[in-house]
Amino acid sequence: MKLTFKKPKKLLNLDQNAKTVKGQKFGYKTAILYLAPASSSGFNVCPQASLGCKASCLNTAGMGIFKSVQDSRINKTRWYILERDSFMVQLKKELTAFVIKCKKEKIKPCVRLNGTSDIEWNITGIFNDFKNVQFYDYTKIYKRAIRWVKGEYPKNYHLTYSLNEDNKTEAFNVLKMGGNISAVFRTPKLPAIYKGFKVLDADKSDLRFKDKKNSIAGLYAKGKAKHDTTGFVLDV
């Protein structure tokens, strides 16, 4: 069956997220691109997603509960896959407008293109096109995390490796090499130290590029994640 799509008017979400808006008190405004996670669009944009990750995905959190929002994310994903050139033209147009908006508001712009996906955006050259913008993402792709730790990505890109139920060895290797990871805990009272590494309260803001090296971005389980039994959510 041939997959079709309708081009949405806008790609980026500008601080309409309860968590990213917290970044404003630190001097940042955040733009996020939300795509349809895993294979929900007919194309897999989360190649290393675990069962626990898929079951606990925040795709349906907040405005994500509405069918119109889900349809929009599917359309965005298919647009990216099926008509990459025109998608990138639109994305760059919106990023340019976002940078101008932030300059007028005297606030720093930061961008997360993998809001609910795990795509290698570096291949598009987007980070180099906007060198004065701080980009950041979470990833479950170990090779990408290692490349970031080794300094193989543009300096304006920050990457946090996401811990799940089946990549603990890889996650702690990233930490030992000087990188950062995120982890979801069942209790809202996060441990100060986990497995010998400092845990930061990642619910205070989404600005992962501000985190100290060798630290864990601790997140409190929300929504579906509260009922996780796969080991994705940590019990301490």
Q: For 62-75, how does the pLDDT look when each residue is reduced to its tens digit (9 = 90+)?
A: 555 667 778 899 99
Helix (H, G, I), strand (E, B) or coil at 94: helix
End-to-end, the C-alpha distance of the chain in Å comes to 47
**Residue 207 confidence class, pLDDT cut points 50, 70, 90:** very high
- Spatial separation of the C-alpha atoms in residues 76 and 81, rounded to whole Å: 9
**Residue 34 confidence class, pLDDT cut points 50, 70, 90:** very high
pTM recorded for the entire structure: 0.91
pLDDT per position as a tens digit, 177-199? 999 999 999 988 999 999 999 99
Among 36, 54, 61, 59, CA closest to 232: 54
For residue 16, the model assigns a pLDDT of 79
**What value does the mean pLDDT take over residues 99-111?**
97
Q: Report the chain's C-alpha Rg in angstroms.
A: 17
Q: Which helix (H) or strand (E) holds 112?
A: strand 108-112
pLDDT per position as a tens digit, 116-135? 999 999 999 999 999 999 99
Q: Is 80 exceeded by the pLDDT of residue 17?
A: no
Q: Which helix (H) or strand (E) holds 28?
A: strand 28-33
Helix (H, G, I), strand (E, B) or coil at 104: helix
